[in-house]
């Protein structure tokens, strides 16, 4: 007579504890989110995962559409054009002011905080006193390094009372209050923002820029000059071209005409690529909020819950 090997089975939620973290650390972001949603044990097993597979240079950013229909349902559009519906309560009623390396700087209900939409990691900042009314059409922000870095500095630029004057609000990690700087007579809208080597740069659409030096604590005006040779000394930044932008929208199947969009700076090998802000009115006729969106690099940041700014 023949014998059949006995097959041992076990429940899917009873896999070896040493195996689950190894699996989680090899997953992409969307797959990791699904992994974490299986059960409490699987969520706990993913506590050290980072989904680094998505954090590669020279990749076009993903897009997060939020604020539609006054709820927390968001649409994530990947670089390949795949769309996923994700519920993110922190995005309901929020306005994104900056996006860099997977971190969003959000304003919501009077609070300003860093937020990672995938891991839901959050770091609160002190609220500026006498801050002008918040709106994506008038406020553009940049931060120097990830908020978990000790040398992180945040710089928010905004227009004062619908005049041509600009105000800059700056805060260093560890500080309890913001410092304010003022620039008179700059009527143009800020469309791109970036940071490099101790200086924040804000660009309009006429080749003018506002510069703020962290070391000198000074604000100044400048003019963009494009280099013609790789041998010329320059800031390693470039604007995304109209062709690139339209191709990006087409590939992601996005119609952004009525969407207020927060830009970002994409990490590249030679010169980081600035994706512009596209500012729209915040409300349609009748008071219904328009959708908002943000270009962002897909990262999965996890932090100690006790981390403070």
Q: pLDDT per residue over 147-185, tens digit each?
A: 999 999 999 998 876 677 888 999 999 999 999 998 888
Q: Which two tokens stand for residue 289?
A: 């909020």
pLDDT of residue 170: 95
**Tokens 């410092």 label which residue?**
179
Q: pLDDT per residue over 47-72, tens digit each?
A: 666 665 555 666 788 899 998 766 78
**What is the rounded distance in angstroms from the CA atom of residue 153 to the CA atom of residue 143?**
6
pLDDT of residue 287: 45
- For the chain, domain boundaries: 15-56, 62-281+289-296
Residue ranges of the chain with pLDDT lower than 70?
1-18, 37, 45, 47-58, 69-70, 130-138, 161-162, 230, 251-252, 254-258, 280-290, 306
- pTM of this prediction exceeds 0.75: yes
pLDDT of residue 116: 92
Q: Are 181 and 219 in contact (CB under 8 A)?
A: yes
pLDDT of residue 283: 41
Task: Return the sign of the alpha-carbon dihedral for residues 266, 75, 91, 134.
Answer: positive
Distances (CA, A) of 148 to 56, 95, 113, 123, 225: 19, 21, 12, 9, 34
């Amino acid at each position: 007579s023949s014998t059949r090997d006995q097959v041992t089975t076990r429940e899917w939620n009873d896999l070896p504890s040493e195996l689950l973290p190894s699996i989680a650390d090899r997953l992409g972001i969307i797959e990791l989110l699904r992994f974490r949603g299986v059960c409490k044990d699987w969520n706990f097993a993913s506590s050290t995962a980072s989904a680094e597979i998505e954090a590669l240079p020279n990749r076009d950013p993903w897009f997060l559409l939020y604020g539609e229909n006054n709820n927390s349902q968001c649409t994530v559009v990947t670089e390949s054009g795949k769309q996923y519906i994700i519920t993110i309560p922190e995005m309901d009623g929020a306005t994104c002011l900056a996006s860099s390396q997977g971190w969003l700087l959000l304003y919501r209900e009077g609070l300003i905080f860093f937020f990672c939409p995938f891991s839901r990691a959050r770091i609160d900042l002190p609220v500026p006193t006498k801050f002008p009314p918040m709106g994506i059409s008038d406020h553009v922000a940049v931060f120097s390094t990830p908020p978990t870095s000790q040398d992180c500095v945040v710089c928010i630029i905004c227009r004062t009372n619908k005049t041509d004057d600009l105000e800059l609000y700056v805060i260093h990690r560890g500080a309890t209050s913001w410092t304010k700087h003022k620039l008179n007579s700059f009527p143009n809208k800020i469309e791109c923002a970036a940071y490099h080597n101790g200086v924040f740069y804000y660009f309009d659409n006429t080749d003018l820029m506002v510069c703020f030096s962290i070391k000198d604590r000074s604000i100044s005006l400048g003019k963009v000059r494009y280099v013609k040779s790789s041998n010329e000394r320059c800031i390693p930044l470039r604007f995304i071209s109209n062709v690139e932008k339209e191709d990006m929208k087409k590939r992601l199947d996005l119609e952004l005409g009525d969407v207020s969009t927060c830009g970002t700076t994409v990490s590249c090998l030679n010169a980081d690529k600035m994706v512009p802000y596209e500012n729209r009115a915040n409300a349609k006729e009748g008071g219904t909020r328009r959708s908002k969106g943000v270009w962002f690099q897909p990262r999965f940041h996890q932090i100690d819950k006790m981390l403070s700014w």
